[in-house]
Every structure is written in structure tokens, then in C-alpha cells.
Amino acid sequence: MGRRFRVAFIFVAVAAIVGCARRPSVEEARAFLDQAEARLRALSEEASRAAWVQSTYITDDTEILAAKANQRLIEATVALVKQSRRFDGVNLPPELARKMKLLRLSLTLAAPSDPKESEELTRIAAAMEAAYGKGRSCPEGVTDPAKCLDINQVTRVMAESRKPDELLSVWRGWHAVGAPMRKDYQRFVDLANKGAREIGYADMGAMWRSKYDMPPDEFAREVDRLWDQVKPLYLSLHAYVRSRLREKYGEKVVPANGPIPAHLLGNMWAQSWENVYELVAPKDTGPAYDLTKILKARNTDARQMARYGEQFFTSLGLAPLPQTFWERSLFTKPRDREVVCHASAWNVDNVEDLRIKMCIEPTEEDFITIHHELGHNFYQRAYNKQPMLFRDSANDGFHEALGDTIALSITPEYLVKLGFLDKPGDPAKDTGLLLRRAMDKIAFLPFGLLIDQWRWKVFSGEIPPEKYNQTWWELRTKYQGVAPPVARSESDFDPGAKYHIPANVPYTRYFLAHVLQFQFHRALAREAGCKEPLHRCSIFGSKAAGQRLNAMMEMGMSRPWPEALKALTGEDRIDASAILEYFAPLMKWLDEQNQGKPVGW
């Protein structure tokens, strides 16, 4: 899945207002925000360019330059947030009140006011992300870098190998990437929490949870409510996959009623399972095609993969990507330097300097990821005429959901239109198609939830440093029903082996996106006039669906997210019922397969 777009909200402190005891006026508040927004674009562009170079040319120098640019933006934002508190109590018009609120919630990392601590925090943040980018999985006892695997190679082995010993070796090697970050991460938490407290939050986690147009505790309850809606489907999927993997690897490797060993699910983090679909495929039905084989047979290169994604959006009536996108994006891994291959979408100037950074392979996974990343780009451009403080998605889950909504339209009917298939295939094969999609979408849900469950507890102090790794695996077992294949201890730091931890990218957005995308898809499919079962609907070519989608995207963050959701779906509450509708045929089939077998762990 994808990957992280880079849109930094960067602000600069305006001149200090020397005044008397009187309450500031509405016009003074407007002037304050206007000055902030006037500087926002320039500072954002500076930091984005530095971050782009750091991610695509990893050196000590680019790390330093990115850290300094990041430090400037964070310090300026913190200063501006503190100055904005001067307007507390002023009865502002709705637009100004929302801008003031979003200004105060724009940070994902709050640096302390002490310059030395601020510099230390941003340096640690840049160093941890770079350490991940340079990470390698080395076989036990091997120190020669030439014999170690980068993240692309690791991903390929985890997806394709069916040898438990090889999978374990690669799994163990990559998880060693996190261990050297442990001390830095502990210091990072201390400094980030100090910065968050200085601007009025209990800790970093509380700051993150405050960004959803509702109180932090209410948002946490909403996440739990959504998980409760989908949990029965996940439990059925887990039970079925476990029983089939047990048939493949034997009872000594896979337990009958316990957690699944994490290295056997086709993905380094066991966050999606579609790569082991062939091991668990229904015996009497299955996908009628292999998209990876099709792409490779057609000699599809990286740029053509991106063109397919662009074509989907233009079929909805949206304008093509600018020429600069094709000139400035990173599509393949260079041979001459280190880069962060983790896929991400960028709008460098917050207007139309759209780019993706991705080491593209001709695989089904990357085909889907391309649609996901371009969803960010088209969304970024749709709201680029909003005031600067509104240039973001309704909430961060919306941004992540856009491309995945399009990917739900990658149906056999769509592939026929691309010339990949001669005909859509027998509807009797839908069980296999739904199972494979569930092994991506449904398998991800608990992982999408637990990453920030862990971080929120780390930031609050509920998880102390001496229990970082222990609690990580307790949560993974609780939510995912997976377990480490070898013993882990506090000398390990397995969270650091997942990009979003060292890169400090909030993760609940991905959980929300996996719910929202089905809610979006259902609404757009209806707008497109689809009469088929929801999982057979594709909105490719529907200008009506495109108009409805674009109307929501153009709103940016100008209105609370329930209003944006209503503009697209007619509903003002996130609801997982669309997931249950989409996978209803599969749920019935899974329950039949699981009769007499243990469910849960």
C-alpha cells in the first residue's frame, strides 16, 4: 500500500504585537492570519525541496540540510501557534475561527522552544528516517553490505519465497534495522512531548487525536467503534488463512488455534496477506488472472505504470498531470545513490509541482500503489485554490482513501478496457477475487489500528521505554493475531523496522482510509449508475462520479470533515457497513469453511 505524501504546513512568526490590555479585534486576527498565510507557501516550498533532495539523494549533507529546513519550519510554526493564543476569546467569523484552529493543529511534530533541544529533535528525526532508508537485511553473521538486501529485495523475498527458513532469515535481518534507533527514539519522544506540552497538549498523541473535529477521547472511541464493526470479518479471515497455512507448513510451524507466525504472511509486517493468496486459494475457484504476470508479459515499465493511474483519473473528467510531474518524479531506484524507496506523493510548491517518489516494479501491488499515490496528487491539486490553511484533505484519512477508492475499481471489467483481459471472466470466480482483496484490505485493518495505539501509549507514558518491544508484540497479538517467529527482547526495537515510526508519520489515517474507501466507493458506484454487486462496480469513465468526487476534493479542509463526507456520500458519519456489504458473499463463504474449526487465538 502505499506510502506517504509530503505536504508540510509551514508558518513563520509574525512581528510581535506590542499592545495594551484590550482584547484584539477581528481585523487584527485577520491580519495575523493573512501574514502567516502569505509566508506559508514560501517556507513550505523551501522545506519540501530540502526533504525531496534528502529522500532522493541520501547523504550526510542532505540529512543536515533537511533537518535544518525542518527545524526552521517547526520552530516558526510553534512560534506562530503560541502567538495565536493572543486571540483566545475573540469572537471570530467561522472562516477565521477555523483557520485559527487548523493553525494550532497543523503540526505533526512540535519542537521545544529551547533552540538546542529543537535542533536536537529535528536532527534525530532526519537521522532516523535516513537510517531506515539505508537499512539492509543481512543474513546472520554477514557484515558485507554486498550480501545484504535492501527494502525492495526484502519485499520481493517475503512476497515470493515459500521457504520458512529463508523467510525467517530475511525477517530477522530487516527487523535488526530498528535496534540502533531505540535510544534515539526514546529521546525523540521526550523532546516531542515537551514541544507538544508547550503549545497546550498533554502529549504528542493527544495533539494528533485533536485533529479530527472532535475531542481526542471521542475520536479514540470512534476508532474503536469502527473496529468493532469489522472485527467479525477479520476473525473469520484469520481463521481460514491460519488453517490453510497450517496445511502448507505443518502443525509444528502454524498452530491450530494461536497467532500466526508473522513471517509467513507474505509481507514484512504481516500488514497485508495477498502475496500468499496462492497458498490459501479456494480449491474450486480463484482469480481468473494474475495481474503481475500480465504486466510483466507486456513489458510494462515504471512510467507506463504511472500512465495507467493517470488515465483512470482523466477518465473521470479530471485534467491530466502537469508535464513537470513526468520530468521531476522519481519512478525507479537509481543505481548510483541511496534513496528512500517508500512510495510517497508530493506537492512541492503547494500549487502544481506534483511528484511521486517510488521505486516502481511491474507488480499488481505497485499497480495499485500507483493509483493510491496519484490519488494524493489529484487531491492536492483540487484544493490548491483554497486559502493556504485549507490546503489539505478534510481529514488525513480522506487523503489516504482517495487513491484506494480508485483501486477498488480495478475490476476485471476495467482490465478488459485496458486490453489486459479479453473478457471479465466468470462471476463464479468472485469468491477468489474477494478473498484476495480481503487479504489486502481486511487483513490490514488491525495493523492500521495498532501502530498508533502503541504510539499514543508511548507518548502518554503508559508504555515506558523498558517495555517498548514487549508491548509492541502484545498489541500485535491482541489485534492482528500474529506473533514473532523468534523470541524478541528489549534489545530489539521492532517498531523501528516500520517506516512510519522513524519517519513520525501518524498511522490512524490508514485505518480510517481503509474504512472510508469502501464508503466512498459505494457512493460513487451509485452515482455512476452501477447495478452490479458492489465488488463488481468500476467507476472508470464516469464523469458523474468524477464531478461528485472533485466537488468534495475542492473543499480541501475548509469545512469539518463530516460536511466533506456528506458532499460525497450523503452521510456525515464514517461507517464500515460498506465494507460488510462489499464482502458479504465472502463472509458467508468463510463462515462455511470455518465450521468446526477454531476462530480467534
Cell numbers 485549507 correspond to 390
Contacts of 568 (CB under 8 A, 6+ apart): 520, 523, 524, 548, 549, 551, 552
Active site annotation includes 352: no
Of 334, 342, 296, 459, the residue nearest 4 (C-alpha)? 342
CB 375 within 8 A of CB 28: no
The torsion of the CA quartet 213, 214, 218, 222, rounded to 10 degrees, works out to: -30
Q: Please write down the HEC assignment for all residues of 244-266.
A: HHHHHHCCCCCCCCCCEEHHHCC
Given 175, 238, 342, 535, which residue is catalytic?
342
Given 373, 438, 567, 576, which residue is catalytic?
373
Cell numbers that stand for 521 in this block: 466507493
Pairing of strands 482-483, 354-357: unpaired
Helix (H) or strand (E) holding 455: helix 430-460
Cell numbers that stand for 561 in this block: 470533515
Active site annotation includes 400: yes
CB 4 within 8 A of CB 55: no
Given 238, 263, 371, 376, which residue is catalytic?
376
Residue 358 to residues 5, 7, 365, Cα–Cα distance (Å): 11, 16, 12
Q: How many residues does the chain have?
A: 601
Q: What gap in Å lies between CA 333 and CA 386, rounded to an integer?
A: 34
Q: What gap in Å lies between CA 32 and CA 90, rounded to an integer?
A: 13
Active site annotation includes 510: yes
Q: What gap in Å lies between CA 462 and CA 473, rounded to an integer?
A: 15
Strand partners, 482: 260
Active site annotation includes 500: yes
What backbone torsions phi and psi does residue 286 show, to the nearest 5 degrees? 175, 170
CB 406 within 8 A of CB 375: yes
Given 263, 371, 372, 399, which residue is catalytic?
372
3-state secondary structure of 483: strand
Given 510, 525, 527, 545, which residue is catalytic?
510
Active site annotation includes 376: yes
Active site annotation includes 342: yes
Given 29, 110, 130, 343, which residue is catalytic?
343
Active site annotation includes 373: yes
Given 400, 513, 521, 576, which residue is catalytic?
400
Of 208, 232, 204, the residue nearest 219 (C-alpha)? 208
Q: What gap in Å lies between CA 537 and CA 539, rounded to an integer?
A: 7
Q: What gap in Å lies between CA 422 and CA 415, rounded to an integer?
A: 9
Given 263, 500, 514, 535, which residue is catalytic?
500
Active site residues: 342-343, 372-373, 376, 400, 500, 510
